[in-house]
Amino acid sequence: MTPRELLRADQQLITELVPEGARVLDLGCGDGALLARLRDERGAIVRGVEIDLADIALCIERDVPVYQGDLDEGLSDVPDDRFDVVILSQTLQVVKRPRLVLSEMLRVGKRSVVSFPNFGHWRVRAHLALRGRMPVSDAIPYSWYDTPNIHHTTIADFRDFSADCGAVVEREIAFVGRDDGRPRMVRALPNLLADEAVFVLRRR
């Protein structure tokens, strides 16, 4: 048995949201760690989409079937409702066409799970308000000029965006991610106090 890998806090939460034996598609699945965990511990049937060749090699190493694809081109070869769960973890902010990506998720999956860094977190707000500089934090660790994150959103904005894309929010989990992979839940004032969020959506 290989030792249990430490997942990111949002991935840890997502693991708990996926039912036993679900068919799962992870968009921007990275090294495949989350999908391997879902397969091994949830008996999920997993498929990944990833653009980076080095990550694809890591997925193959984990025996996670992975398809090299660009999310901004949509999922035209995937039929409607093909998956029980479609995951977009920490990837929404890097895609060029978030609306297309979310619409496609809602189309091919019965449930969509989206995790993203919350740009409404007080540290981010303070950074901009008090220092007058683009925020750099644990959840958003890039300078403005070299960030892959081109579509920042806040929890409040994402609620509107989901509704606009024809989604119903089934669950909204706001938390502070920590290095040990165990998230600290935020119940009050999530858009101010949480630096990350996981949303569970379905088609309206």
Partner 1 sequence: MGETDTIRRPWEETASAGVSEKKTLALDGALTLASGRTLDRVVVAYETWGTLDELGANAVLVCHALSGDSHLAGLRPGQPGDATPGWWDVMVGPGKAIDTDRFFVVCANVLGGCSGTTGPSSLDPETGAPYGLRFPMVTIEDMVDVQARLLHALGVRRLASVVGGSMGGMQALAWAKRYPERVGSVVADATTWRLGPQAIAFNEVGRRAILEDPAFSSGDYYAVGQPESGLGIARMIGHITYLSDESMHKKFGRRLQSSADYAYDFVSEFQVESYLAYQGQRFVERFDANTYLYMTKAMDYFDLQGDAPSLAAALLSVSARFLVLSFSSDWLFPTARSKELVSALRENGNEVSFAEIPSGYGHDAFLLEPEAQHRLIAPFLTNALAHARAAADDAPASQLPGTEVAS
Instruction: Return residues touching partner 1 (CB under 8 A).
Output: 47, 53-54, 56-57, 59-61, 63, 65-68, 77-79
Contacts of 23 (CB under 8 A, 6+ apart): 44, 45, 47, 82, 83, 84, 85
Q: Nearest distance from residue 200's CB to partner 1, in Å?
A: 25
Work out how close the CB of 25 gets to partner 1 at its nearest, in angstroms, rounded to a whole number.
10
* Min CB(75)–partner 1 separation in Å: 11
Nearest-angstrom CA–CA distance, 149 and 93: 5
Minimum CB distance to partner 1 smaller for 3 or for 132? 3
Please give the Cα distance from 30 to 49 (Å, whole number).
8
The full 3-state SS of 59-100, as one line of letters, equals: HHHCCCCEEECCHHHCCCCCCCCCEEEEEEECCHHHCCCHHH
Which residue lies nearer to partner 1 by CB, 83 or 158? Answer: 83
Q: Judged by CB, which is closer to partner 1: 29, or 139?
A: 29
CB of 81 to partner 1, least distance (A): 13
- Other Cβ atoms within 10 Å of 29 Cβ, number: 28
- Encode burial over 47-82: b for 16+ CB neighbours within 10 A, e otherwise: bbbbeeeebbebbeebebebeebebeebbeebeeee
**Nearer to partner 1 among residue 23 and residue 127 (C-beta):** 23
**Which long-range CB contacts under 8 A does 178-181 form with residues at least 24 apart?**
178/9, 180/6, 181/6, 181/7, 181/8, 181/9, 181/11, 181/12
- C-beta closer to partner 1: residue 19 or 65: 65
Cβ distance to partner 1 smaller for residue 42 or 47: 47
